[in-house]
Amino acid sequence: MPTSSHDRNVSRRSVCKAALALGAAASISAPAQAAAEEAAEFEEVGAEASAESSAEAGRWLRGEYHTHTILSKDATNPYMAVANNLAAAFRDTAALERIDAGYEDAHIDALTDETEFDYLIFAEHLRRSLDGVESSGNDQWDTPFYQAVQKQYDFVRDLQASGSYADKTIAFACEWDMPDMDHGAVLFHTAGSDELPVEKIHEFEWKFAHASGDNANDGDDPTAMYENNGATELATWGERLGDSDVEHSYEGVRWMLENFPDGFVLINHPSRHGTSGAGAVTIEKLRRLNDIAPDLVFGMEGMPGNQMSWSGGRGELPETFNGCDAMIAKTGGVWDALLSEGRRFWNFTNADFHFKTSGTSYASGYWPSEFSCQHTYVVDTGSPVDDLVRALRSGNSFSTYGNLIDALDFTASSEGSSATMGQTLEAVEGSPVTITIRFHVPAMNNYQTIGGTDTGLGAHNAPEVDHIDLIMGTVTGKVDEGAYASTANADAKIVKTFHAADFGEPDTDGCYTLTYEVEAEPGTTRYFRVRGTSVAAVDENGDPMQDVDPSTGKGGVERFDYINDYNYANLCFYANPVYVTAVEDTLLPQLRNELSAAIEKGEGYAADGYTSASFAALARALEHGRGVLEREGATREELATAKQAIDEAITGLVPVSTGDGGAGGSGSTDGAGSTGGTGGSDGSGTGAGLDSDNAGADSGNDGSPLPQTGDTGLAAVVGTGLLGAAAVTLGWGSLKQSRSDEA
């Protein structure tokens, strides 16, 4: 029986990673979460997805949602059995040793670091499939997907029931050849259910799977593969929709929205067919898909798998930049244009594993957990697949190549409230906002040479971050449909590059912390996203350089070595964005009103009832308060301090004793700062306060009025009150102390 990696998981997780997990749980307060849910900018563009972010304690999990096994017709190497992919993803040591001994092409001995997965979602092709989970029989891929995936599901669930990988989350999707697009990972999932909905998968496959040509045997999912050429399916579900009309892609997403709103349709390697023409995934198509189902189509594979397969760029893309799709790598490009509309649309990475090498002719990619990793913050409710899908939809995740970093705490904070990836911070207009990037660089990754070639490309197994870019863009709202093909709405730019020399020394947890200060600009919502790289070279815009095939002119294992070394010498990570919305300062007018009331109260005291010194102090406090109140740019602290001074001066008023002279004279509290006059010893002073009704009243031997002591507390709503939550009442002294503590 394969051994569980649960115990090793606990020991290998660094102290820093545990600290970051706790930080993510506490990074957004409940009031801030409520504000994020209510943010008007996102009501029609996926606010529901953002609202799923939670302040509950969760945990960071590693995994991916797009990998293949021998069920897929282009992953037919005998070591691609389902069991072997599970062993790699979850690091079953005994099984890995057996694979290494039995299959030279597998090169599975590279799995030496401590990055085994916590979750895995298979996404076999929605095409003719193998009717089994390992190479056997006649090795014919002539079975409908819906039948093959049932065998895969049964095999995995039996393994888990026997105790293998019982602590892992494993789910079953498909990779759909989307009509007039590229591929999409489709998860047929119903909340609260662990059953495989085979008949609904059957329906989707019949309607939307690739079946081109006039001959029943044409296509990757030929009609002839179904019993009686699909007579029953035709009578039940109608004609097949083929693969040439993009409207069929939209129709398939609508079908998913109706039948599986708790699943997802995520776009794989979007630029693989270029930027125009048949099959190209354009920004217009992405916008329309997201319009139809923002909580289903909520992201794309901007960091594609298949990284050892070159076609102009890594991962079979025409061009890549640090291994990434241009859609995410180009600042101000497709991803930024989507984010600038307020769409909650995230970046992901996957292995897209088909095989590692095949003889000396072909190389494809890396095993699950070997090179690509999606780090996802999951809040456990007892329903693992539900929890995982919610976590992916929330955006609280980051993607890595080559284990460049293994922990990240990326937040925006202001005045005691904070938000992390996928969430929205509401900050008072004009207030300072701190962007914090706290990360951990592990000691090693899985690099090792394949054939021993000295490529000179500088690959090694100790990750090093060369620099980190902080990118900022403005959310301006959805564009008109006439502009759906354009990225002109994006204004994203790199606002700060942190070089390795800027990182400083790691803290006691081994983490580096970088900060950037920005002001909450009135009337704006902005987003911040982060990427890091192991490469110093950048283009004129500060973006990664285009990848160049290092294996040109090379062959055999030498070629594999050049590709592998290049990949490990050119690593990166990307984080999903955090949003900052500037909101009106509701505390400022409250403080102005409170200061005005304090001034009015202070002006009601008569000078002749109090000692000259104490009344002079009140007069000075009132004069200062009036000046602050009249100044439009007065800050909250200035207003609160002025009010506190008046309150304290009122409290400090000292009544004249019996027989003592009053402050007397013609003194006033109009800001002159003097009491005037000369009070008589019999209490008959001639001075008068501002209130003529109290002039000289009861200032003699009949007794003086007692001072009117007021509430010296600020009684102000602070911090979370600005985020749409219940008011929190604090004294100004407490608020100042809190700020001092924060500083």
For residue 554, the one-letter residue type is K
Shared domain for 615 and 672, answered yes or no, is yes
Mean per-residue pLDDT over the chain, rounded: 85
3-state DSSP helix/strand/coil percent for the chain, to nearest 5?
35, 20, 45
> Mean pLDDT, to the nearest integer, of 483-490?
98
Q: Considering the domain boundaries, does residue 671 fall inside one?
A: yes
Q: What is the pTM of this model?
A: 0.81
Task: Extract the tokens encoding 563.
Answer: 């590709």
Q: Within this chain, do residues 544 and 596 fall inside the same structural domain, yes or no?
A: no
- 338 band by pLDDT with thresholds 50, 70 and 90: very high
pLDDT tens digits for range 599-648? 999 999 999 999 999 999 999 999 999 999 999 889 889 999 999 999 99
User: Does residue 595 sit in the same domain as residue 578?
Assistant: no
- Closest by Cα among 515, 334, 497 to 439: 515
The single residue listed with the structure tokens 């009501």 is 43
Residue 47 has pLDDT above 90, yes or no: no
Please give the backbone phi and psi of residue 459, each rounded to the nearest 5 degrees, phi first: -75, 140
Q: Which residues pair with 496 in a beta bridge?
A: 470
Shared domain for 491 and 601, answered yes or no, is: no
pLDDT, greater one: 689 or 441: 441
pLDDT at 260: 98
Do the Cβ atoms of 454 and 447 come closer than 8 Å? no
> What's CA 568's distance to the chain center, in Å?
25
Maximum pairwise Cα distance, the chain: 121
| Last-in-domain residue among 542, 562, 583 | 583
Does the pLDDT at position 665 exceed 70?
no
Residue 404 to residue 514: CA distance in whole angstroms: 17
Please determine, for residue 577, whether its predicted confidence score (pLDDT) is greater than 60.
Answer: yes
State residue 16's pLDDT score: 56
Specify which residues 167 forms β-bridges with.
none
Where does residue 198 fall: left (phi above 0), alpha (psi -120 to 50 degrees), or beta otherwise?
alpha
Contact 403, 446 (CB under 8 A): yes
Within 8 A by CB and 6+ apart from 552, the residues are none
Position 178 in a domain? yes
Residue 485 lies in a domain: yes
Q: Tell which of 554, 583, 612 closes a domain.
A: 583
Measured CA to CA, the distance from residue 672 to residue 674 in angstroms comes to 6
415, 550: one domain:
yes
SS3 61: strand
Residues 511 and 598 grouped into a single domain: no
User: Do 481 and 622 have their domain in common?
Assistant: no
Question: Distance between CA 327 and CA 282 in Å, rounded?
Answer: 10
pLDDT, tens digit, for every residue of 683-719?
333 333 333 333 333 333 333 333 333 333 322 222 3
| Cα separation, 291 vs 562, whole angstroms | 42
Structural domain includes residue 724: no
At 500, the amino acid letter reads: A
Number of helices (H), then strands (E), belonging to the chain: the values are 19, 22
Shortest CA distance to 373 belongs to which of 297, 463, 293, 458? 463
642 and 515 in a single domain? The answer is no
Least confident of 81-90, 503-512, 586-595, 639-648: 586-595
What would the pLDDT profile of 229-240 be if each residue is shown by its tens digit?
999 999 999 999
3-class secondary structure, 609: helix
Q: Which residues pair with 346 in a beta bridge?
A: 299
* Structural domain of 285: 15-22+62-583
Which residues make Cβ contacts (< 8 Å) with residue 623, sequence separation at least 6? 671, 673
Q: What integer pLDDT is reported at residue 137 of this predicted model?
A: 58
Same domain, 572 and 594: no
Phi, psi for residue 701 in degrees, rounded to 5: -70, -15
Tell me whether residue 410 is in a domain.
Answer: yes
For residue 610, the 8-state DSSP code is B
**Token pair in block for residue 275:** 């930027």
pLDDT surpassing 90 at residue 25: no
Average pLDDT estimate for 82-86: 98
Is position 539 within any domain?
Answer: yes
Residue 735 has pLDDT above 50, yes or no: no
Residue 743 has pLDDT above 60, yes or no: no
Q: The tokens 């949003």 sit on which residue?
A: 579
**For residues 294-308, b (16+ Cβ closer than 10 Å) or e, as one string?**
bbbbbbbbbbbbbbb
Position 34 scores a pLDDT of 35
Q: How many CA atoms lie within 13 A of 181 on its CB side?
A: 32
Strands 357-358 and 362-363: antiparallel
Residues 195 and 334 in one domain: yes
Give the mean pLDDT of 142-164.
97
What letter would DSSP give residue 348?
E
Q: What is the pLDDT of residue 364?
A: 96
**Residues 692, 557: one domain?**
no
- Residue where one domain finishes, among candidates 565, 583, 601: 583
In a domain, 40, yes or no: no
Which of 61, 75, 68, 115 lies closest to 91, judged by CA? Answer: 115
Q: Which pLDDT score is estimated for 345?
A: 98
**Is the model's pLDDT at 724 over the cut of 50?**
no
Count of domains in the chain? 2
Whether pLDDT at 106 is above 60: yes
- Residue 118: inside a domain, yes or no? yes
pLDDT value at 37 more than 70: no
> From CA 320, how far away is CA 315, in angstroms rounded?
8
pLDDT of residue 529: 98
Query: Cβ contacts of residue 697 below 8 Å, gap of 6+?
Result: 606, 705
Mark out the alpha helices in 570-670 (DSSP H runs): 587-602, 612-630, 636-651
Give the tens place of pLDDT for each residue, 193-228.
999 999 999 999 999 998 877 777 788 999 999 999
Q: How far is CA 74 from the centre of its chain?
A: 33
Across residues 54-79, what is the average pLDDT? 90
- Say whether both 539 and 628 belong to one domain: no
For range 161-184, the mean pLDDT: 97
Res. 447: pLDDT tops 50: yes
Structure tokens at 720: 């979370």
> How far is residue 136's CA from residue 131's CA, in Å, rounded to a whole number?
9
